[in-house]
Amino acid sequence: MADEPVVIDNHRVLGVVPGKPVAGDRKVLGEEETVMVWPHLLVRHAVAALVVLLIVMVLALLFDAPLREIANPTITPNPEKAPWYFAALQELLAHFHPLVAGVLVPGAIVLGLMALPYLDRNPQLVPQARRVARTVFTIFLVVWIGLTLVGFAFRGPNWSWVWPWDEWHGEL
């Protein structure tokens, strides 16, 4: 023991003992540990909700919803565009018989998605153990997003190819 007492913040240190701090070990929490939903999850959800609302409110400030001329059964606009989320289907309709592009393909997609958990019986969750499922799904997503982009932005009058920077025909 030193002769001079050690003083920290006007408090004299009497001694140092080996071992754990009084509050116990600082626990390293694993991913599987559970936490209370309030406040941990709810706070995050509230922030997420506010961010989404902010995005919508800013979009609504910047861009007005479209309103074309009043409906007229005797004039079909050229090009006639479906809303963007059906642009992929419209692109398919220009190439295949409507029974295929308008009924069989969308029907197969919806039924296939519904059946997915019953077709993919591999219980693994780690990405490396489910390469086939991930590859198939990714290909489907890429093809569908590609078709949507083509139908939305790259098609002009008479459904002919246009470059979106030359002529803009996308409709929301």
Partner 1 sequence: MSEMDRRRFLARGWKAAVALIAGAGAWTSWDALRPRLPAGFGAKIKTISADDVPEDAVVEIPQARAYLTKIDGRVVALSEVCSHLSCRVPFCESSGQFECPCHGSVFNRAGDFISGPAPRGMDMYATEIIDGIVEVNTDEFITGAPPGTETIIEPPRGPACTEGSGHA
Partner 2 sequence: MKLIRWIKETAVYRSIFRLPDVETERDRAASHWSSFLMHIYPVKVQRRELRFGYSAFLGVASLVLFGSLTISGIYLMFFYVPSPGTAYSDIQSIQTNIAFGQYIRNVHRWSAHVMVIAVAAHMARVFYRGAYKPPKEFNWVIGVVLLVLTLLLSFTGYLLPWDQLAFWAVTVGTSMASYVPVVGDVTKEILLGGPSVGSATLIRFYVLHVALLPAILAFLIAIHLWRWRKDSMLTVDPPPPGEEPAAETELVIAGEG
Q: Does 28 bind partner 2 (CB under 8 A)?
A: no
Contacts of 164 (CB under 8 A, 6+ apart): 153, 154, 170
Binds partner 2 by CB under 8 A, chosen from 1, 13, 14, 34: 34
Closest CA relative to residue 88, chosen from 145, 153, 142: 145
96 contributes a contact to partner 2 by CB under 8 A: no
- Least distance in angstroms from the C-beta of 70 to partner 1: 16
CA distances to 9, 21, 49, 106 from 18, rounded to whole Å, are 22, 9, 48, 69
What tokens appear for 142 in the block? 């890429």
Contact string 54-93 vs partner 1 (x = CB under 8 A): -------------------xxxxxxxx---------x--x
Instruction: Choose, by CB under 8 A, the member of 99, 132, 158, 166 that binds partner 2.
Output: 99
